[in-house]
Amino acid sequence: MIGVAAAISLLLMTCLAAPAMAVETDNYQVNFDGSVQYLAPKEVGTVVVHVATDRPGGNYTWNASVSSGTVMPNKGTGDAESFNLTVTAGTTTGDLVLTIGLTNGTVSDTAKYTIHVVEPVVITAQVKNSGSVTLTNVPVQFKADGAVLNTTTVTIPANSTKTLTYNWTAGGLSNGQHTVEIVLDPNNQFVRFLDGSTTFSSTFQVGGTIFGWLNIVLGLIVVLLLVLIFLSYMGRGKKRKK
């Protein structure tokens, strides 16, 4: 028979030999879904920094830096699932690399995100108000392939011409045909083209040419600069008394 002392010794040996239970620790997994991908030189964009939903509990600290331009803020503390950074591109084209370092003192993660700084396509058209009434705060939309790029308003004094301009950072375009549109008064309240429409559109081709991107830029500028849009005042249904 095994004595009491021997049994206790055997039990201790068994306990010591048993493998230690692993303690699972959630990790940080930084990603940048929904962030700006292209900027023009000196343009400002938003980067959304996502922290994993199964991240460790409690606060973390983070710091941010960019290879060119600026990022604000460049450090902080929090416990949110995501936070936003404002990135301003530098004065030259090329890739801007954002680096994020994040830690709670025990678990850490480092991630990089690349923003392409490109020369913008300048979409420009001259708009003429040939009427005798000033057109105030007329809505204008710039669109590409059906997506709204920018919405603004324009005021055009009577018998005068206004130049509409939008800098489009059109990176990552697929090969094939694309469409650019300028939509005046999208809700059809104030003005229209003389042909009754409110939209000017132009198409251009990506690929199939040795001129590449330069051809797109020059083609858009030339086509749109040659457009002279005459507006007529609709008066919201009101007519002048005779």
Does the domain made of 38-117 have the CATH classification 2.60.40.2410?
Answer: yes
Average pLDDT, stretch 143-155? Answer: 88
Sign of torsion, CA 35 32 84 112? negative
Average pLDDT, stretch 12-37? Answer: 65
196 contacts 241 by C-beta, under 8 angstroms: no
Average pLDDT, stretch 89-95? Answer: 92
210 pLDDT exceeds 50?
Answer: no
C-alpha to C-alpha distance for 231 and 200, rounded to whole angstroms: 12
At residue 161, the pLDDT reads 82
Average pLDDT, stretch 190-215? Answer: 63
Q: How much is the mean pLDDT over the chain?
A: 76
Better pLDDT: 69 or 215: 69
CATH class (in words) of the domain with range 121-235: mainly beta
User: pLDDT-based confidence at 86, cuts 50/70/90?
Assistant: very high
Placement of tokens 């251009």 in the chain: 204
Average pLDDT, stretch 166-186? Answer: 80
Query: Where are the chain's structural domains?
Result: 38-117, 121-235
Paired strand residues for 183: 141, 199
Predicted confidence (pLDDT) per residue in 33-73, tens digit: 989 999 989 999 999 999 988 888 889 999 999 999 999 99
* β-bridge pairing 60-66 and 94-103: antiparallel
Highest mean pLDDT among 79-83, 124-128, 177-181, 202-206: 79-83
Q: Which of 114, 110, 94 is nearest to 102 (CA)?
A: 110
At residue 126, the pLDDT reads 75
Omega within 30 of 0 (cis) for the link into 56: no
Count CA within 13 A, CB hemisphere, residue 225.
8
Better pLDDT: 100 or 184: 100
User: Residue 212: is it exposed, middle or buried by C-beta count within 10 angstroms (0-12/13-18/19+)?
Assistant: exposed
* Total Cβ atoms within 10 A of residue 121: 25
